[in-house]
Amino acid sequence: MAFIDGTAVNVALPALQSALHATVSNVQWVIESYALLLASLLLVGGSLGDLFGRRKIFLVGVVFFAAASAWCGFAGSIDMLIVARGVQGIGAALLLPGSLSLITASFAEKDRGRAIGVWSGFTTLTAAIGPVFGGWLVEHASWRWVFFLNLPIAAAVIVITVCFLTESRNEKASSQLDWQGAALATLGLGAITFALIEAPKGAGRAVIAGAFGTLALAAFLWVEAHSKAPMVRLSLFKSRNFTGANLLTLFLYSALGGILFFFPLDLIQVQHYTATQAGAALLPLIALMFVLSRWSGGLVARYGARWPLTIGPLVAGAGMALYTFPGIGGSYWTTFFPAVTVLGLGMAISVAPLTTTVMNAVPEDEAGVASGVNNAVSRLASLLAVAVFGLVLYAAFNHALDRRLEALQLTPAARRQVDAARPQLAAAMNADPRVERAIGEAFTSGFRVILWLAAGLAGASAVSAWVLLDPKKRRRSARN
């Protein structure tokens, strides 16, 4: 459910933007409210599973996620949808860490890499179904059905979990939960996200929010260092593999999250793909990850973590760079297909070894926390990427649009009309075909800027893997 939601909603963004008369910053909050609560509470979700039972908390998360999905589907305004998405993020924070920690508790270390590879393959398969089926629903029914899609899946998950999964927990887990740390993380990340998204509307409040967020995150680190029952033991990061893998996750998933948010907007609003076609455009990426995930899951056992986690991000970065070549128009097969394929190959090499490295870097009884940390880092990466890339895109779009509008020599009234629609970026409508073309070209120019930033982040993830990861083919425990 969480992976379908992560891909299908992106395809629905242009439709809900139009239906609910939303600006691009509103659309960003539809993604960010979900990602914010998910990233902030994933660690609590992992701790709850370790304490009360991973299967039990997993089930609670599924039920919560399904109820919030129904609320999203019935939302009558963009503000209500943003709130409902935040509640949905809380449910996802309970179910996501449980899925990986249940696998870790069920398999010996020698089999765990391939088991996680199979897990990656199936989550990738559902992620593939999400944008295609979601795009079809948007095109032939309504964007609301993208959220209703979760309800029958939730029912099936509940039956499978009750009938087939056994309970597991960390018998050494503390009975105390770090709600103070969770609150500070949520406030800090929320304030910084607000500052980045709302910066174009006013620098003053953005600076205040950013400063408050920074102080809250500093307080979070202090609380975690001095708490008797921290949400995450900071000593976990003494493990080079754990630290390196999470730093790699931050860089690589920032790049990927930014692209996956803005790519459907480019396809639908600039390239004029249908929602179904935009969803299908990512199929090569997802198919490669599904087909190769079991194979890549065994790479760590054969070669160690350093090589696959250096090569994979470099290949992914090359794919991101290829996205910069297409302009407006042209066949998918000669424009975006090569980029999607190379990016998919790079991610297929990276994802399962990355997850395996994280889970093998800590003692088994802390699997829930390790899963929570890594999932939180990946979601935090997407959270920050959508905000930061959105700010960069907005600035680059306006700069490129100004240059093109000057050449058109519009009347003052026509220029005011264009300026009023700027917050909608490529969704801005105009009766003048020259202006429509200028808006599309300006968005493409801004999209290229963030693509190069994404490629640079992928390169940084490869460097962090090479410098920090243990080259030896052996487990590194955080307590060694």
pLDDT band for 175, please (50, 70, 90 cuts): low
Compute the distance between CA of residue 465 and CA of residue 243 in angstroms, rounded to an integer.
10
Compute the distance between CA of residue 429 and CA of residue 431 in angstroms, rounded to an integer.
7
The mean of the pLDDT values for the chain is 84
Cβ atoms 234, 225 nearer than 8 A = yes
Compute the distance between CA of residue 168 and CA of residue 100 in angstroms, rounded to an integer.
12
Q: What are phi and psi of 211, to 5 degrees?
A: -65, -40
pLDDT tens per residue, range 252-274: 999 998 888 889 889 988 999 98
Across 419-447, average pLDDT: 86
Can you say whether the dihedral through the CA atoms of 283, 42, 247, 219 is positive or negative?
Answer: positive
pLDDT band for 369, please (50, 70, 90 cuts): low
Cβ atoms 35, 358 nearer than 8 A = no
Is the confidence at residue 302, as pLDDT, over 90? no
Structure tokens at 439: 């808006």
CA distance to 254, 261, 264, 439, per residue, from 328 (Å) = 25, 18, 14, 11
Cβ atoms 234, 366 nearer than 8 A = no
AA letter at 125: L
Is 219 in a helix, a strand, or coil? helix
pLDDT at residue number 127: 65
pLDDT band for 174, please (50, 70, 90 cuts): low
Compute the distance between CA of residue 208 and CA of residue 458 in angstroms, rounded to an integer.
31
Compute the distance between CA of residue 356 and CA of residue 9 in angstroms, rounded to an integer.
28
Q: Tell me how far apart the terminal alpha carbons of the chain are, to the nearest angstrom.
A: 36
Can you say whether the dihedral through the CA atoms of 375, 379, 385, 388 is positive or negative?
Answer: negative
pLDDT tens per residue, range 225-254: 887 777 777 877 888 888 999 999 999 999
Is the confidence at residue 463, as pLDDT, over 70? yes
pLDDT at residue number 17: 85
pLDDT tens per residue, range 178-190: 778 778 877 887 7
Q: What are phi and psi of 410, to 5 degrees?
A: -75, 160
Is the confidence at residue 420, as pLDDT, over 50? yes
Across 105-134, average pLDDT: 73
Is the confidence at residue 477, as pLDDT, over 50? no
Half-sphere exposure in the Cβ direction for 134 (13 Å, CA): 34
pLDDT tens per residue, range 188-229: 877 887 787 777 776 777 788 889 889 988 998 898 888 777
Is the confidence at residue 480, as pLDDT, over 60? no
- Tell me which H or E stretch contains 355: helix 337-360
pLDDT band for 339, please (50, 70, 90 cuts): very high
Compute the distance between CA of residue 131 and CA of residue 452 in angstroms, rounded to an integer.
25
Strand residues in 423-480 grouped as ranges (E): none
Which of 20-34, 293-307, 443-457, 465-479 is predicted with the least confidence, judged by mean pLDDT?
465-479
Compute the distance between CA of residue 281 and CA of residue 340 in angstroms, rounded to an integer.
8
Residues listed for the chain: 480
Compute the distance between CA of residue 254 and CA of residue 263 in angstroms, rounded to an integer.
14
pLDDT band for 173, please (50, 70, 90 cuts): low
pLDDT band for 48, please (50, 70, 90 cuts): confident
Structure tokens at 228: 């008797």
pTM for the whole structure: 0.78
Across 281-290, average pLDDT: 84
Is the confidence at residue 3, as pLDDT, over 80? no
Report the percentage of the chain scoring pLDDT > 70. 92
pLDDT at residue number 479: 42
Nearest by Cα to 448 from 388, 389, 387:
389
pLDDT at residue number 133: 78
pLDDT at residue number 124: 66
Compute the distance between CA of residue 274 and CA of residue 143 in angstroms, rounded to an integer.
13
